[in-house]
Amino acid sequence: MIQEIIAYRNIVNNIEDLMNKSPFKKGYIIEKVGIPSPTFYRKLKSRTFTPDEVLSIAKILSPEECFRLELLADIEQAKQEYVEGNFITHEEMLLELKRKKII
Burial label for 40, CB within 10 Å (0-12, 13-18, 19+), is buried
Global model pTM greater than 0.75: no
The model's pLDDT over 33-49, given as tens digits with 9 standing for 90+, comes to 999 999 999 999 999 99
- Per-residue model confidence (pLDDT) at position 16: 94
Query: Which amino acid does the sequence have at 40?
Result: F
- Per-residue model confidence (pLDDT) at position 56: 96
Q: Are 49 and 57 in contact (CB under 8 A)?
A: yes
The model's pLDDT over 21-37, given as tens digits with 9 standing for 90+, comes to 999 999 999 999 999 99
The model's pLDDT over 65-103, given as tens digits with 9 standing for 90+, comes to 999 999 999 999 999 999 999 989 999 999 999 999 887
